[in-house]
Amino acid sequence: MKKPHLFPSRYPRSLTLLLVLFTVILPARANEHHNLTHGNAAIEVVIPFAIPAIFEASPTAGDATLVLRATTLITNSWFDAVAPYHPTAVGVYSNLGRRPANESENNLNLNIALLYASYHALNSLFPHRNDDWRAMLASAGLDPDNNTTALTEPAGIGNAAGIALVAARENDGMNQLGNEGDRTYHRAPYADYTGYAPVNTAYELSDPSRWQPAMTGSNGLFKIQQFVTPQMRITRPYSYHNPKRFRARPPVKSNVRNYGAYRQQADEVLQASASMTDEQKAMAELFDNKINSLGFSAVFASFSQQLSLAEFIQYDFLTNMAAFDTAIAIWQEKARFDAVRPFSAIRYLYGDELVTAWGGPGQGTVYDLKGSEWTSYLPVADHPEYPSGSASFCAAHAEASRLFLGSDQLGYVVSVPQGSSRIEPGVTPAADIELVFPTWSDFEHNCSMSRFWSGVHFLSSLPEGEKIGNRVARYAYNFMVAKLNGD
Amino acid sequence: MKKPHLFPSRYPRSLTLLLVLFTVILPARANEHHNLTHGNAAIEVVIPFAIPAIFEASPTAGDATLVLRATTLITNSWFDAVAPYHPTAVGVYSNLGRRPANESENNLNLNIALLYASYHALNSLFPHRNDDWRAMLASAGLDPDNNTTALTEPAGIGNAAGIALVAARENDGMNQLGNEGDRTYHRAPYADYTGYAPVNTAYELSDPSRWQPAMTGSNGLFKIQQFVTPQMRITRPYSYHNPKRFRARPPVKSNVRNYGAYRQQADEVLQASASMTDEQKAMAELFDNKINSLGFSAVFASFSQQLSLAEFIQYDFLTNMAAFDTAIAIWQEKARFDAVRPFSAIRYLYGDELVTAWGGPGQGTVYDLKGSEWTSYLPVADHPEYPSGSASFCAAHAEASRLFLGSDQLGYVVSVPQGSSRIEPGVTPAADIELVFPTWSDFEHNCSMSRFWSGVHFLSSLPEGEKIGNRVARYAYNFMVAKLNGD
């Protein structure tokens, strides 16, 4: 049964069109009531409302653990809300019975259920934006005060699914409520409660093998990084029990006692910094933003594969949950190795010696940069280096896509207009370019490499991240298939 | 000679009216051309355009050294630009000759000169907002491309004064260009180049007498403070040569070896935290914002005293320069003593013991707060505790005002609507209140005490800050009088 789609004959082929869709077309429609009978309320209602909340906490959507937990809980709420309309599925956190097949002949009941479930997930994740979530339901013609949990109605199914999800996930180890460590007052949501402290300070690299927090900020207001959510490693996964089954090999080249290798991998980063192309810079910026890269590639694939609403929900939950479960394993390894970032190693190795490298926005490659002033093209993320988180998330996303969609074919194109760079606005790229990803393998490979080109990772960090991401994706896929089979 | 004023019969009596003036009335007028002949372009054109730039870097305008340097350079540009229209004055950084008295019979030439001078100061301070500064001139009917430096024209005088100011101040020690330390690439404006590093980390208070950077942030994105602009202490003052003449007594109670006194001053802060009134909370929030407190009280006093344009400029430059020169001395002492903040001392002293204190937004006073979780009402500023910067700035501002206006009378009233608190929105104050400052002495006293009530300072830090501020203000006043006398 083919259903009408938002773009029945021409689906958006590029990120630019998706951005227009989410930032211009859909918000402008918010005053009309959404077409619940034929539309996809997940894409057309929930995502446009949720994106500002996700970007508020994380302006480049770069803090992956926080972004992934939000997107995973939202898509989980969809999955659980529509499970009763599937022939055999159960929700992850609820088993709400089975609805007759004629209730899913069109999208009406699924959309209503997923909207009410999203309302609960979003209120739990972003309680200070309750007005937005009420407006979200109202924009679809639904009553935010409808509290029914009657399992004969889609609103009741959505409410019940959302409530069960929130109850199961509010204390999953991420410290969403800020109450871990028996804290009653001055709660700080998502604060570390594991007691992580770096061995180096931003001022002194006392152990050149270990992670050093970077100084960040601008215009005189500088702050020092703190490892973001070290507790991710003890957060409850979906698709496996113990993250210890996912191990990376030790980062031997990051050990300064292996001085030759330590220097060699730093020199590789320097060389990449000196030879970055406009296309590499555009790739780096695309993959630094997890919504624009992971999120929108999934939406794109859903359009291009003409997935039904139920299929889209399965696919979007799968890719997010695969990356979320990957993050748990990767954070375990990041905390275990606590490995040095390239900027620390290069400054340590070269000090006042002059090196050849990127000289800053609009400066191109310069030949008289003091080693102590070397800076990566992308701002460095706020966690230890090894293994690469982004490489692992893209690998999980790509492998989950291949498994679900049954093919490596992708055909995603991202248009990058002249001068649209966030790091080098007005300058880069020098001419319009298109980033083309014919296959998911191309997508994950470029994602990985972009972390090296942009100077935030050493090379050996990439395959170790990819391997874990690929493996976890298979667990995640099996987990979802089991839920679809009612196990 | 009395000139017409914006509020000839009724001047704004409160901060609320001033905020309406700067955020609603004046921006709405930006499309009309400003009345250069009779208006005050400093207040009516420059300030409304400059405020968003100042708040962009510092959302509560709380990072005093950066705010004060901006406001001092802007008001300095006004002072130097109008000096040729005074009978005897010279500029601080230019001596542009003397214009005949008939050229200052109304405000036209002074306004044109100060606008062009501001244009240079603002372009130097906030170069990324050049479009705003062009729009500022255009809103007054002036051509931003008029580059004349002919000293027979007001535009030329303004340009010449602005250019001289920028040349003199661009490398004054604050590292505005990020080029200190012979840095060519990856320049970070206002970055420390003195090598300051705290002895404590945010994770461990290894020396309970010394400053500990606080963990800041929310929603999982936490960063650690860095001492803001430690180089303020070696920045060039206006009104004296060597800040060593301004010394505070050592903070003996902050020395943990004086354990009884150490505990006693921490207990005073705890007691204040447990008994904060709505009025104290409102005072704390007012004085935490240097534009709303220092800046607008000066504008208010100018209205109430019906200062001429030239007098307003002298007064506004004086108060800003006095606080700027105070900051240099205070930063010297902050760096020298590197003293502990109350939050560190209280957490250190009480650990898991329960204390009675403010329990967080909307929680009121609670009786079962772990000492280790105690948090001040105001977020703690990003510099060592002793002496109090805010107390010193308010004291400098008040003393400069008394000297210039010839009286301690003030009569400033700030209306604080129910629920308007930034820290406890919707909750505090429980009813509308008015903060009344009959005299400058009341203003400086409440400013000082508000830093103690709100838990960011110990008591002994306040008088030491006040004394330095009062003393520096007298130097600043003498400096300005000398410039008015043409010395």
What ipTM is given for this predicted complex? 0.89
Measured distance CA(B335)–CA(B412) in Å, rounded: 34
Cβ contact, residue pair A225, B225, below 8 Å = no
Cα nearest neighbour of A376 on chain B: B186
Q: What's the full length of chain B, in residues?
A: 487
Residue A108: how many other CB atoms lie within 10 Å: 17
A185 to B366: CB separation less than 8 angstroms, yes or no: yes
The residue type of B280 is: Q
Position B220 scores a pLDDT of 84
Q: How far away is chain A from the Cα of B443, in angstroms, using its nearest Cα? A: 28
User: Could B224 and A223 be called an inter-chain contact, meaning their C-beta atoms sit closer than 8 Å?
Assistant: yes
Which residues, 6+ apart, have CB-to-CB distance to A63 below 8 Å? A57, A228, A381, A382, B220, B221
> Which chain B residues have a beta carbon less than 8 Å from that of A360?
185-187
**B173 reaches A (C-beta below 8 A):** no
CA–CA separation, A382 vs B221, rounded Å? 9
As a whole number, mean pLDDT of residues B354-376 equals 97
Amino acid at site A473? A
A66 touches chain B (CB under 8 A): yes
Q: What is the 3-state secondary structure (H, E, C) of chain B?
A: CCCCCCCCCCCCCEHHHHHHHHHHHHHHHHHCCCCCCCCCHHHHHHHHHHHHHHHHHCCCCCCHHHHHHHHHHHHHHHHHHHHHHCCCCCCCCCCCCCCCHHHHCCCHHHHHHHHHHHHHHHHHHCHHHHHHHHHHHHHCCCCCCCCCCCCCCHHHHHHHHHHHHHHHHCCCCCCCCCCCCCCCCCCCCCCCCCCCCCCCCCCCCCCCCECCCCEEEECCEEEEECCCCHHHHHCCCCCCCCHHHCCCCCCHHHCCCCHHHHHHHHHHHHHHHHCCCHHHHHHHHHHHCHHHHHHHHHHHHHHHCCCCHHHHHHHHHHHHHHHHHHHHHHHHHHHHHCECCHHHHHHHHHCCCEEEEECCCCCCEEEEEEHHHCCCCCCCCCCCCCCCHHHHHHHHHHHHHHHHHCCCEEEEEEEECCCCCCCCCCCCCCCCEEEEEEEHHHHHHHHHHHHHHCCCCCCCHHHHHHHHHHHHHHHHHHHHHHHHCCC
Could you list the pLDDT tens digit for every one of the 487 residues in chain A? 333 333 333 344 556 666 666 665 665 555 457 789 999 999 999 999 999 998 887 766 568 899 999 999 999 999 999 999 999 999 999 999 999 999 999 999 999 999 999 999 999 999 999 999 999 999 999 999 999 999 999 999 999 999 999 999 999 999 999 999 899 999 999 999 999 999 999 999 999 999 999 999 888 889 999 999 999 999 999 999 999 999 999 999 999 999 999 999 999 999 999 999 999 999 999 999 888 899 899 999 999 999 999 999 999 999 999 999 999 999 999 999 999 999 999 999 999 999 999 999 999 999 999 999 999 999 999 999 999 999 999 999 999 999 999 999 999 999 999 999 999 999 999 999 999 999 999 999 999 999 999 999 999 999 999 999 999 999 999 999 999 999 9
Residues 196-215 of B with CB under 8 A from A: 197, 201-204, 213, 215
> What does pLDDT average to over chain B?
93
List of domains in chain A = 15-169 (1.20.144), 215-484 (1.10.606.20)
Torsion of CA B37, B43, B44, B45, to 10 degrees: 90
Which pLDDT band holds residue B15 (cuts at 50, 70, 90)? low
B201, A203: Cβ pair inside 8 Å? Answer: no
Nearest to B369 among A185, A219, A221 (CB): A185
Rounded Cα gap, residues B89 and B86, in angstroms: 6
pLDDT of B218 strictly over 90: no
Distance from CA of A304 to the nearest CA of B (A): 35
Which pLDDT score is estimated for B4? 34
Q: Which residue has the tokens 């406890």?
A: B424
Per-residue confidence at B9, pLDDT binned at 50, 70, 90?
very low
Quote the pTM value.
Answer: 0.91
Region for B61 from its dihedrals, namely left if φ exceeds 0, alpha if ψ lies in -120 to 50, beta otherwise: left
Percent of chain B with pLDDT over 70: 92
Q: Do B225 and A224 touch (CB under 8 A)?
A: yes
Burial profile B83-98: b = 16 or more Cβ within 10 angstroms, e = fewer: bbbbeebbbbbbbbeb
A–B CB contacts, 8 A cutoff, strictly below = 121
Instruction: Find the radius of gyration of the CA atoms of chain A.
Output: 23
Cα of A376 to nearest chain B Cα, Å: 10
